Amino acid sequence: FSNHDIIIVGAGFFGATIAERVANELGKRVLLIDRRRHIGGNAYSENDRETGIEVHKYGAHLFHTPNRAVWDYLNRFTQFTDYRHRVFSAHKGQVYAMPINLGTICQFFGKHFTPDEARALVVSQAAELAGREPQNLEEKAISLIGRPLYEAFIRGYTAKQWQTDPRELPENIITRLPVRYTFNNRYFNDPYEGLPVDGYTAIFERMLGNPLIETRLGVDYFDLKSEIPEGVPVVYTGPIDRYFDYRAGELKWRTIDFQEEVLSLGDFQGTAVMNYADEDVPYTRILEFRHFNPERNYQTEKTVIVKEFSRFATRADEPYYPIDTAEDKRIYLAYKALAEQEKNVIFGGRLGTYRYLDMHQAIAAALKSFESEVRPALT
Ligand code: FAD
Ligand code: NA
């Protein structure tokens, strides 16, 4: 390791951004390792062998950002399509546009409402609690959007996501439930949105293309930690509790099981993401990957769908969403204090800081960490 100026653990967006900056901006030598056998972290995608359809291996990844600097940065490594994300939700034999908008409300209540009429309706239905403080997630949701919309679109979906009755979930899991009083059903509000024209993995190949970056895959940091010479800075984007051998307790996560199927038909659902709001359907949603890239000439004989099942993660699972209870917050703060004492190690990314980060946030955090922590450590 004496050949390297810095060691970066994790080839997701956080680690790859740091690696790119260190090599291209500072001209220093990087060793980037990942325990997985591919680069890209959770944004990794590959083309399905049978159909050629690009499949995001760790769930649908939609790139969107309000941040011009991040958008410009990523545009150095890819062009974006003009894909605009939309989500639909199946409920009791009907299909509705998400997030809940004026179209959803008119369709659901079977009536033409003006924006003001719809607003007044939701306000009157949300008054059910009569000023009482919400005691659980169900009551919180009702206080925001009223019972009918909650029971149709939130209750079953949330119960499946958490494998818990929403009346037993804390109210602070949700702070808002967006309702739009227009017919706009674009999922994201951000000014910059799109999918990479030649896929996610190509972004990482370009970011890591500088020969100053050596990438080693299938390598677990904890198997080589003892060989790293004193004084070589490390950027660690793995789980922070694992780093400290779980000595302050285990941080809790949710994971998703993905059930992939290739179907012999040209179009299964007519859209990329269909939520299943009802509890009698075991999965939370179905992704159909061809619809992320309508500009590609995919074959029309076959299509790839993925059903998602949500559950609590064990140590053996991929950690996806921090559960972040009061207990988790306390544990994380203990690790954060330990991390600050850890010389020459910079903790970052979603696992290293126990935070859900969208891709653009992981990149923004890495660009910031590069300037405030990595550059000073190397120059
Ligand atoms: P990661 O991508 O998780 O990278 C961390 C890497 O560290 C991993 O590859 C891991 O293998 C490696 N690692 C961990 N421990 C070790 C070790 N001991 N030794 C070596 N390597 C190690 N974002 C969006 O913007 N839009 C979306 O639509 C979107 N959808 C998502 C859907 C799902 C199901 C999930 C889970 C996330 C989604 N995200 C989305 C978030 C996106 O995946 C993250 O922003 C991004 O992964 C964060 O990058 P990262 O580098 O912090 O972490
Ligand atoms: Na540190």
Counting ligand 1 atoms within 8 A of each CB, the residue from 61, 65, 221 with the most, and so the one to mutate, is 61
Which atom in ligand 1 lies closest to the alpha carbon of residue 36? Answer: 11
- Sequential pLDDT tens for the chain (379 residues): 678 999 999 999 999 999 999 999 999 999 999 999 999 999 999 999 999 999 999 999 999 999 999 999 999 999 999 999 999 999 999 999 999 999 999 999 999 999 999 999 999 999 988 888 999 999 999 999 999 999 999 999 999 999 889 999 988 888 888 899 999 999 999 999 999 999 999 999 999 999 999 999 999 999 999 999 889 999 999 999 999 999 999 999 999 999 999 999 999 999 999 999 999 999 999 999 999 999 999 999 999 999 999 999 998 999 999 998 889 999 999 999 999 999 999 999 999 999 999 999 999 999 999 999 999 999 9
Q: Can you tell me the distance from the alpha carbon of 338 to that of 345, in angstroms, rounded to the nearest whole number?
A: 11
Which residues form ligand 1's pocket by a CB distance below 6 Å? 9-15, 33-36, 41-43, 58-63, 220-222, 237-238, 256, 320, 349-351, 357-360, 362
Atom of ligand 1 nearest to the CA of 221: 19
Among 85, 237, 356, 370, the mutation site with the greatest number of ligand 1 atoms within 8 A of its Cβ is 237
Side-chain-side CA neighbours of residue 34 (13 Å): 19
Residues 179-189 pLDDT 10s: 999 999 999 99
Q: Which bound ligand lies closest to the C-alpha atom of 8?
A: 1
CA of 33 to the centre of ligand 1 (A): 14
- Is the complex ipTM higher than 0.95? yes
Compute, in angstroms, the gap from residue 211 CA to the centroid of ligand 2: 27
Residues that are catalytic = 176, 180, 254, 285, 308, 356, 358
How far apart, in Å, are the Cα atoms of 262 and each of 57, 290, 342?
A: 14, 11, 47
Q: Could you tell me if residue 118 is left (phi over 0), alpha (psi between -120 and 50 degrees) or otherwise beta? A: alpha
Calpha distance 268→247 (Å, rounded): 48
99/153 Cα distance (integer angstroms): 10
Residue 336 Cα to ligand 2 midpoint, Å, equals 9
Task: Point out the ligand 1 atom lying closest to the alpha carbon of residue 58.
Answer: 34
For 30, 35, 313, the CA distances from 211, given in Å and listed in that order, are: 9, 21, 37
Report pLDDT for 45: 98
**Which residue puts its alpha carbon closest to atom 6 of ligand 1?**
10
Give the strands of the sheet with 87-91, arranged side by side: 94-98, 87-91, 273-276, 285-288, 303-312, 253-263, 321-322
Distance from Cα 213 to the centre of ligand 2, integer Å: 22
Residues 6+ apart with CB under 8 A from 84: 186, 193
Atom of ligand 1 nearest to the CA of 320: 36
Report CA(330)–ligand 2 centroid distance (Å). Answer: 19
For ligand 1, the distance from its centroid to the CA atom of residue 256, given in whole angstroms, is 13
User: What is the pLDDT at residue 68?
Assistant: 98
Question: Is the distance from CB of 5 to CB of 30 less than 8 angstroms?
Answer: yes
pLDDT at residue 1, as a whole number? 67
Do 202 and 316 touch, CB atoms closer than 8 A? no
Counting ligands in written order, the one closest to the CA of 31 is 1
**From CA 103, how far away is CA 98, in angstroms rounded?**
9
The pLDDT assigned to 176 comes to 84
What residue owns the CA closest to ligand 1's atom 16? 238
CATH of 6-39+208-252+323-378, one of 3.40.50.970, 3.40.190.10, 3.40.50.720, 2.40.50.140: 3.40.50.720
Ligand 1 atom at shortest distance from the alpha carbon of 10: 7
Ligand nearest to the CA of 352: 1
pLDDT at 178: 87
Closest ligand to C-alpha of residue 215 is: 1
